[in-house]
Chains A and B, each alone.
Chain A
Amino acid sequence: MSDYNFAYLDEQTKRMIRRAILKALAVPGYQVPFASREMPMPYGWGTGGVQVSAACLVPEDRLKVIDQGADDTTNAVSIRRFFERTAGVATTGRTRDATLIQTRHRIPEEPLTRDQILVYQVPIPEPLRFLEPRETETRKMHSLEEYGLVHVKLYEDIARHGQIATSYAYPVKVEGRYVMDPSPIPKFDNPKLESAAVQLFGAGREQRIYALPPHCKVVSLDFEDHPFVPSKADHACDLCGSDTSYLDEVIVDDAGGRMFVCSDTDYCEGRREAGHLGRLAASGPSAPGQEDAA
């Protein structure tokens, strides 16, 4: 531990954030304004998620941080270290061992349990922002439940591309009331928003907190003749062979070679440890760059 207050933020700030979280849970999907603080990291690096995590952490927590599904990328490593230093909490890479998971743009493949908390880093919390730039207007639209514009956007997708082309940050309706931006998770993850865990969303630059209580009804917007499809790359993971997980496409040489690997690194490692092998994993787990692209 260090000379920082527990979990970095001062108590007054944590109380303000905690009150916002309680109201967010009471009105699922509604964006509660909060007085976001400057954090020792730039906007866009998860300042909202970090503040929500700081307000929720207890010393007994085991923290996992993922960035696009990976535990070992810069953003995840730096946030994990931040809380190791300022809150003294234990950290882990394993989804099932974690009590609080902060995430950037993915939901873990393994179903979460009732004792887990998932904290999302959110860049633009307002699902109507790119359709209507004025905050005064979008606030009024939410209050009047005036969401026709979102359907127009999805309809224009179909008119232009023959299908709904929105592939991430896919808008959802929560408990039949508020339309919510689930943060830029791939739409593949949208069905996992109905979870046993508590889900909290923090947008630092935009100063908003919102939440989904466990078992909350979350419906991805669609049309009867163009139903919502949680799509993924049509391959199996080249390392663990999973054909149900969300995949990243990795270019492995300069001759067009490529491989598909699970975006959730913990899920992929767990499967390989259990003996599942993918197309390129015959030599056992090793760094993707060292594999031969068949």
Chain B
Amino acid sequence: MTGGFADPSIQSAWGFRAAMMAMARPGDILKVSGAQAPAGVSVAASVLLLVLCDPETPVWLAPSHHSVALGRWIAFHTGAPVVDRRGDAVFALGAWDSLLPLTDFRIGTAEYPDRSATLIVEMETLRGQGAVLTGPGISEAAGLNLPEVAAFRANRALFPLGCDFFFTSRDRLAALPRSTVVTAPAEVI
């Protein structure tokens, strides 16, 4: 079973540092390396799965990424159970359209807002332009080519509840925590 980390301890540390900096600074696009899951999963998404998933974190695979090969790869390298319902997932992986509707994912509870799902959204490309991001972690404004705006605004309206997102394309990743305010480019003048 190939595509895992050759040196898990060090490569996980590198992968996490990138994931953490992305989550701390929404819109920043960072490079990662070292993992390659099968069935068309990006390097960046593969790294995130290896860094963050283990037997305690059920994973939901969207139809776009649901395959026996990937399920086996996740089971072998992380031990995470692949679940059938969005509502059971701690992590979810897929293309944007395939992940919808977001409303079925866990958003945490008022007393434990951390108990919410983190979605890994596979993208064609990542660019620092498009939707305008403001909020914690951003000094003035940042840009990111989000697949849409409305869903992220609805998610922000749930704050401090809500889902958190990673966006992955090839060996790049970016993040959008629930705290970020998303505005369509045309609205900013």
Contacts and interface: CB of A to CB of B under 8 A. Distances in A.
Interface of A: 5-7, 11-12, 14-16, 18-28, 30, 32-33, 55-59, 114, 139-140, 142-144, 175, 177-178, 196, 198, 211-217
A73 B102 CA distance: 51
Contacts of B171: none
A198 B57 contact: no
Given A27-B113, A27-B114, A32-B114, A59 B13 contact: yes
Contacts of B19: 18, 22
A75 B90 CA distance: 37
Contact of A140 (B54, B111, B136): B111
What's the interface size class on B, roughly? 35 or more
Interface of B: 8-10, 12-14, 16-17, 19-21, 23-25, 51-54, 56-57, 110-114, 116, 118, 135-139, 159-160, 164, 177-179
A38 B13 CA distance: 21
A143 B111 contact: yes
Contacts of B17: 56, 58
Given A27-B113, A214-B139, A215-B137, A198 B24 contact: yes
Contacts, number: 114
B110 A143 contact: yes
Nearest to B113: A27
Given A22-B118, A27-B113, A215-B137, A14 B164 contact: no
A12 B54 contact: yes
A198 B177 CA distance: 15
Contacts of A58: 10, 13-14, 17
A17 to B, nearest CB: 10
Contact of B160 (A57, A178, A215, A216): A178
14 contacts: A11-B8, A15-B52, A16-B54, A22-B23, A25-B20, A30-B160, A56-B17, A142-B111, A144-B110, A175-B179, A213-B24, A214-B24, A214-B137, A216-B136
A31 B111 CA distance: 10
Contacts of B25: 114, 213-214
10 A-B pairs closest in CB distance: A213-B137, A26-B177, A143-B110, A23-B114, A6-B9, A213-B136, A216-B136, A32-B114, A198-B24, A26-B164
Contact of A6 (B10, B112, B118): B10
Nearest to B118: A22
Contacts of B20: 18, 21-22, 25, 56, 198
A134 to B, nearest CB: 13
Contacts of B138: 214-215
Contacts of A21: 20
A49 to B, nearest CB: 16
A37 B103 CA distance: 35
B52 A19 contact: yes
